[in-house]
Amino acid sequence: MSAAPTFGREHVAGLTLGPDLLIGLDIDGTILGLDDSLSRRVQRSISRVVESGARLVLATGRSLIAVLPVVERLGLQKGFAVCSNGAVTIAFDERGHEMVDVITFDPGPALRLLREHAPDVIFAVEDLGRGFKVTRPFPEGELTGTQEVVSFEDLVAAPATRVTLRAPEWSSQEFHDLVDKSGLHGVSYAVGWSAWLDMTPEGVSKASALEAVRQRYHVPAHRTLVVGDGQNDIEMFRWAGVSVAMDGADETTKAAATAVTGPVELDGLVSVLDAVPST
């Protein structure tokens, strides 16, 4: 087994904690372990960042209903969270949350195209704030909220923020091949580490949503730091002033980042956050 990458202060040179720094963090595989665990060291490092006044923004493929428990676990009192790979952005404080940006698209054309090549794939459309409408139930524990089984035509009848395709027996490469065969266009998509394909409106990504949050906070573009571990993080890596991939990410994802830190199992996020000095 190769040693975990060494992450140091030189990788965040020029950045200091404070209100003019925006830090965008993926959740699964970055903050939380793949078993949904949260280490005390990660919690302490995040608390240090928040107490400095830096603008910490969760940026995840998780749906809104799956993000709110993480906000609570981390003890975040006020801020923004980017959900559904950028299609939904919420503002939250001690009183609750509100959706400040929701971007939808017509999923019908893309899903019909994909179904021609993969009729047995499970399709799911996010039912905002409640769960998902699905053509068949997903494996237990993979989706948060309710799963309402509907017909394919009912699934594509309304505008959607996010669509997910799942084939438990497939590899990630088979999903890439499906996209190539289908000639998918008019949407943004990302293939997950498991046999999972997420689609959002064209041009929508974690990066596009983080840019809107950056402008709300009036943070300079070069004072942005992001950390993630998946292909749905590549756009935000390209957007950020400093981008860090978790070791354990695939090679394409790591190549898109400006640096690589240790894996989530070794609290690689701590090395990144603790490297940023206080003012």
Q: Are residues 41 and 179 in the same domain?
A: no
Q: Of 201, 227, 262, at which residue does a domain stop?
A: 201
What's the CATH code of the domain at 228?
3.40.50.1000
Find, among 101, 218, 212, 72, the residue nearest to 161 by Cα: 101
Q: Which residues, 6 or more positions from 251, have their beta carbon under 8 angstroms from its beta carbon? A: none
Q: Could you tell me if residue 2 is inside a domain?
A: no
The strands making up 131-134's β-sheet, listed across from edge to edge, are 146-149, 131-134, 122-127, 163-166, 196-201, 187-191
User: Can you give the residue range of the structural domain that contains 60?
Assistant: 9-103+204-275
Please indicate, yes or no, whether the overall pTM of this predicted structure exceeds 0.85: yes
Which tokens belong to 56? 């910490």
Q: Looking at residue 194, what is its pLDDT?
A: 61
Residue 250 amino acid letter: D
pLDDT at 1 over 70: no
Q: Average per-residue pLDDT in the chain?
A: 92
Residue 268 lies in a domain: yes
Which carries the bigger pLDDT value, residue 74 or residue 180? 74
Model pLDDT, residue 20: 97
pLDDT of residue 193 exceeding 70, the answer is no
List of residues 6+ apart from 278 with CB closer than 8 A: 16, 17, 18, 52
pLDDT over threshold 90, residue 188: no
pLDDT tens string 22-47: 999 999 999 999 899 999 999 999 99
- Residue 196: per-residue pLDDT: 81
**Best CA proximity match to 67, nearest among 21, 32, 104, 20:** 32
pLDDT for residue 86: 95
